[in-house]
């Protein structure tokens, strides 16, 4: 059961996305087609992934079956996580940051099933009309949402099942599935008795709580990446236990799950680069005659096949549906694509010339120093991140308009935090401190020791099952800590650690605790004294679980953005059904243009405002209002303050939201929330 429930989430999401993207490209992303095709694909992949599972993958490394208590506790932790986050879920619908953009994207897909979003008729083109807003670009005669289409296609399920409340409750469900997925990886790599500990430490970490309560992309990405690891580990187990057919299908599904991570987050391209190299390495081993006794090399081609199919879905979704977003990210995406191209070339060359490379390697003297060097490198890298704050202050000079907005945001946040204003600071040099906050110093130390021990064993030819997980965890952790590439306020910045870094460190720390307990059992102080050993292990468990829980307490019991769903519903009721909405103020335009267009179902546009103002020219507003009347619709103006509408008629307040929002902490772990006020006023110009 534990093996099954830890791969079904990735298999189901893979099937849903595999069917969903073609239907979305055709404009048919509707409940019935997706229920038939997406549901069928999810069931088919799940059936293939679970084939012959109980007799092979549901075993520990020693071959004993999973104890029932471990499965029961793991399931209870996942269920508790889902219920807890469901009760305290957020309601981020007003577009201020990424979660609301994902939510509005999902609302549009659930209601309309096609892209781009039409602009609506405002009486013809006019230079004072703007249809873009925060998180939504004007492109190709319509409006394109900012992000990859994978998360909204998944979140649309909640909207179909329960409207906006259902949409807001789907993230806690995904968070619970992520707990099962990570626990399943721990069971496969460390042993099922350790799965409950991994589930607890993972579930109580603040970034996991944070991203499990609202519509982020990180949790679905985590499920696909670690689900892919689970499927590949199952393929190894099947390959050693019986006929290769089930192993090959599991390897294909593993590659597919890895590849589809690109459709969820374009950063997934970085995360799966080690998978590409690993698959190429297996193909290369297949071509070396002396490697034929190594069974895993037969999985290279099916793993690579699945990876290419999933990656093709991701690239197609990005190119067709998110091109403006990818152009915006070109500064970091182009170098990443270059690295990917280098990896592809090296992988292909290694596979092509594998026999010659192997023959040359046999002539070289044995590098006895390599295992110790690999272990030392792990320690040195982490030590480098530890001393980085004393050697570097990461800065960025604002060049683009987006950079200037980020710099202004950082300066305002510094003032709110009581820090000296310096809008060029990015605080990336403190990225290791973020891990100390969210998983604790003991977990980071244990994970570092475990990575060093595993690297040493891998260099000596052992622990092959850890090769790909350690490569993915190590590569993504180092690149993320070096350049998180996100505004550095917390808890928002903590989302960068969610897809790989935090679950990876939890897995390594749990494995490290098991390794340490076995070392202690062989010492004179603990040999033959099981009670003393159990007490030491219990202390280790407490050291792993307590620090992240303590950090999370400050925000875990405070829901944020509550009341936004009711406030938006009230806004929609207040606007006439035959209205075309003109937003006549900057902040309201940023936050509510797509909300009114998507949730209220009304044509909505912003009125261009001069450079040094936040409100448009009166002549532009009156001209556009008259153009709307000529279409037979009612022009409605929205703004943040009644004074901004006085020139056009009496104003009525249609939204008065008083709620809590996430804290914005730069140098300390977040331990509370901030107040949030949103007012919207409306008038119908005479």
Q: What is the 3-state secondary structure (H, E, C) of 119-146?
A: CCCCCCCCCCEECCECCEEEECCEEEEC
For residue 240, CA distances in Å to 251, 293, 299, 398, 587 come to 13, 12, 12, 55, 61
- Going by C-alpha positions, the residue among 92, 116, 251, 215 that lies closest to residue 495 is 215
* pLDDT tens, residue by residue, 80-131: 999 999 999 999 999 999 999 999 999 999 999 999 999 999 999 999 999 9
Residue 665 has φ and ψ, to the nearest 5°, of -105, 135
* Residue 532 confidence (pLDDT): 83
Pairing of strands 579-583, 604-607: parallel
Long-range contacts of the stretch 63-72 (C-beta < 8 A, 24+): 66/1, 66/2, 66/3, 66/187, 66/192, 67/192, 67/193, 70/2, 70/187, 70/192, 70/193, 70/195, 70/196, 71/1, 71/2, 71/192, 71/195
Cα–Cα distance for residue pair 345/325, rounded to 1 Å: 27
Q: CA angle at residue 100 from 98 to 105, to 5 degrees? A: 95
- Going by C-alpha positions, the residue among 473, 127, 37, 98 that lies closest to residue 265 is 98
Going by pLDDT thresholds of 50, 70 and 90, the confidence category of residue 55 is very low
Mean pLDDT of 402-431: 91
For residue 466, CA distances in Å to 7, 268, 495, 498, 667 come to 18, 20, 25, 20, 34
Cα–Cα distance for residue pair 107/158, rounded to 1 Å: 10
b/e code 346-359 from CB counts within 10 Å (16+ = b): ebeebbeebeebbe
Among 155-159, 219-223, 343-347, 428-432, name the one with the lowest average pLDDT: 343-347
Strands (E), 405-548: none
* Residue 175 confidence (pLDDT): 97
Among 64-73, 149-158, 642-651, name the one with the lowest average pLDDT: 64-73
- Going by C-alpha positions, the residue among 594, 622, 591 that lies closest to residue 119 is 594
Peptide bond into 118 cis (omega under 30): no
Which has the higher per-residue pLDDT, 414 or 364? 414
Cα–Cα distance for residue pair 138/142, rounded to 1 Å: 6
* Residue 54 confidence (pLDDT): 47
Strands (E), 503-643: 579-583, 604-607, 634-639
* pLDDT tens, residue by residue, 165-206: 999 999 999 999 999 999 999 999 999 999 999 999 999 999
Which has the higher per-residue pLDDT, 314 or 531? 314
Pairing of strands 142-145, 579-583: unpaired
Cα–Cα distance for residue pair 528/523, rounded to 1 Å: 10
* Residue 63 confidence (pLDDT): 46
* pLDDT tens, residue by residue, 376-404: 999 999 999 999 999 999 998 887 777 88
* Residue 243 confidence (pLDDT): 73
Cα–Cα distance for residue pair 488/474, rounded to 1 Å: 22
User: Within 10 Å of residue 677's Cβ, how many Cβ atoms?
Assistant: 9
CB-hemisphere CA count at 13 Å for 396? 21
Mean pLDDT of 510-536: 86
* Residue 293 confidence (pLDDT): 56
**Non-local CB neighbours of 281 within 8 Å, separated by 6+ positions:** 300, 347, 350
SS3 label, residue 681: strand
**Could you please report the per-residue DSSP string of 169-194?**
HHHHHHHHHHHHHHHHHHHHHT-GGG
Pairing of strands 634-639, 579-583: parallel
- Is the predicted pLDDT of residue 322 greater than 60, yes or no? yes
pTM summary value:
0.95
Residue 205 has φ and ψ, to the nearest 5°, of -65, 135
* Residue 241 confidence (pLDDT): 75
Residue 620 contacts residue 608 (beta carbons within 8 Å)? yes
Share of the chain above pLDDT 70, in %: 97
Cα–Cα distance for residue pair 30/157, rounded to 1 Å: 10
User: Within 10 Å of residue 212's Cβ, how many Cβ atoms?
Assistant: 29
- Is the predicted pLDDT of residue 56 greater than 50, yes or no? no
Cα–Cα distance for residue pair 424/415, rounded to 1 Å: 14
- Is the predicted pLDDT of residue 62 greater than 60, yes or no? no
Mean pLDDT of 510-524: 89
- Is the predicted pLDDT of residue 59 greater than 70, yes or no? no
Bridge partner residues of 183 (DSSP): none
* Residue 291 confidence (pLDDT): 47
- Going by C-alpha positions, the residue among 256, 252, 283 that lies closest to residue 268 is 256
Q: How many helices (H) and strands (E) does the chain have?
A: 27, 8
* Residue 296 confidence (pLDDT): 79
Strands (E), 173-266: none
Peptide bond into 116 cis (omega under 30): yes
SS3 label, residue 660: strand
- Is the predicted pLDDT of residue 208 greater than 80, yes or no? yes
* pLDDT tens, residue by residue, 541-588: 999 999 999 999 999 999 999 999 999 999 999 999 999 999 999 999
* pLDDT tens, residue by residue, 479-515: 999 999 999 999 999 999 999 999 999 999 999 999 9
Indicate the length of the chain as a whole number: 686
Cα–Cα distance for residue pair 412/421, rounded to 1 Å: 8
* pLDDT tens, residue by residue, 582-613: 999 999 999 999 999 999 999 999 999 998 89
- Going by C-alpha positions, the residue among 420, 427, 429 that lies closest to residue 406 is 427
H-type alpha helices, 265-400? 268-271, 273-286, 300-321, 323-328, 330-352, 354-363, 370-391
Pairing of strands 652-662, 673-683: antiparallel
Share of the chain above pLDDT 90, in %: 78
CA 502 distance to own-chain centroid: 12
Cα–Cα distance for residue pair 686/161, rounded to 1 Å: 42
Residue 347 contacts residue 280 (beta carbons within 8 Å)? yes
User: Within 10 Å of residue 368's Cβ, how many Cβ atoms?
Assistant: 8
**Could you please report the per-residue DSSP string of 241-261?**
HS-HHHHHHHHHHHHHHHHHH
């Amino acid at each position: 059961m534990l093996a099954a429930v830890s791969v079904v989430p990735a298999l189901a999401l893979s099937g849903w996305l595999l069917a969903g993207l073609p239907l979305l490209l055709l404009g048919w992303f509707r409940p019935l087609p997706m229920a038939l095709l997406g549901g069928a694909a999810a069931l088919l992949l799940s059936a293939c992934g679970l084939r012959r599972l109980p007799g092979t993958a549901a075993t520990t490394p020693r071959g004993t079956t999973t104890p029932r208590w471990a499965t029961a506790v793991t399931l209870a932790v996942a269920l508790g996580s889902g219920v807890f986050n469901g009760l305290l879920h957020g309601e981020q619908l007003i577009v201020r940051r990424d979660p609301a953009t994902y939510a509005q994207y999902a609302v549009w897909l659930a209601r309309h099933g096609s892209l781009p979003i039409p602009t609506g008729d405002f009486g013809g083109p006019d230079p004072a009309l703007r249809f873009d807003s925060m998180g939504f670009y004007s492109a190709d005669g319509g409006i394109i949402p900012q992000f990859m289409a994978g998360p909204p296609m998944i979140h649309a399920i909640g909207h179909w099942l329960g409207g906006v409340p259902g949409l807001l409750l789907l993230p806690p469900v995904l968070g619970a599935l992520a707990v099962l997925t990570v626990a399943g990886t721990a069971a496969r790599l460390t042993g099922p008795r350790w799965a409950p500990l991994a589930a607890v430490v993972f579930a109580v970490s603040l970034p996991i709580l944070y991203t499990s309560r609202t519509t982020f992309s990180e949790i679905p990405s985590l499920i696909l990446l670690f689900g892919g690891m689970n499927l590949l580990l199952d393929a190894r187990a099947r390959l050693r236990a019986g006929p290769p057919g089930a192993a090959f299908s599991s390897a294909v599904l593993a590659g597919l799950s890895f590849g589809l991570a690109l459709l969820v987050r374009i950063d997934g391209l970085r995360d799966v680069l080690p998978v590409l190299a690993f698959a190429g390495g297996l193909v290369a081993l297949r071509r070396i005659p002396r490697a034929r006794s190594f069974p895993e090399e037969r999985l290279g081609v099916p793993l690579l096949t699945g990876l290419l199919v999933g990656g093709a879905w991701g690239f197609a979704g990005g190119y067709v549906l998110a091109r403006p977003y990818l152009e915006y990210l070109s500064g970091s995406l182009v170098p990443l694509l270059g690295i990917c191209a280098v990896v592809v070339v090296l992988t292909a060359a290694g596979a092509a010339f594998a026999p010659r490379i192997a023959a040359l390697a046999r002539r070289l003297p044995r590098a006895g120093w390599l295992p110790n060097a690999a272990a030392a490198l792990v320690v040195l890298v982490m030590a480098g991140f530890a001393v980085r704050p004393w050697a570097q202050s990461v800065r960025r000079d604002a060049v683009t308009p987006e950079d200037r907005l980020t710099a202004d945001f950082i300066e305002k946040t510094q003032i709110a935090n009581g820090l000296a204003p310096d809008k060029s600071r990015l605080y990336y040099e403190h990225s290791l401190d973020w891990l100390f906050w969210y998983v604790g110093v003991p977990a980071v130390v244990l994970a570092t020791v475990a990575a060093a021990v595993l690297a040493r064993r891998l260099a000596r030819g052992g622990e092959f099952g850890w090769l790909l997980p350690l490569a993915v965890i190590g590569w993504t952790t180092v690149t993320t800590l070096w350049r998180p590439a996100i505004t550095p306020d917390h808890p928002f910045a903590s989302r960068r650690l969610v897809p790989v870094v935090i679950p990876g460190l939890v897995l390594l720390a749990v494995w490290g605790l098991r390794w340490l307990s076995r070392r202690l059992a062989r010492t004179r102080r603990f040999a033959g004294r099981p009670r003393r050993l159990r007490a030491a292990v219990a202390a280790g468990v407490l050291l792993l679980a307590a620090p992240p829980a303590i950090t999370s307490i400050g925000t875990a019991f405070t829901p944020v953005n509550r009341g936004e769903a009711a406030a938006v519903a009230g806004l929609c009721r207040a606007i006439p059904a035959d209205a075309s909405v003109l937003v006549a103020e900057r902040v309201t335009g940023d936050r509510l243009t797509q909300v009114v267009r998507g949730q209220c179902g009304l044509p909505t546009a912003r009125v261009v405002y001069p450079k040094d103002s936040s409100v448009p020219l009166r002549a532009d507003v009156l001209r556009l209002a008259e153009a709307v009347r000529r279409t037979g619709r009612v022009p409605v103006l929205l703004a943040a303050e009644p004074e901004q509408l006085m020139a056009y008629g009496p104003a009525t307040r249609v939204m008065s939201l008083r709620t809590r929002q996430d804290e914005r902490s730069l140098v300390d772990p977040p331990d509370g929330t901030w107040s949030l006020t949103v007012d919207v006023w409306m008038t119908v110009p005479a």
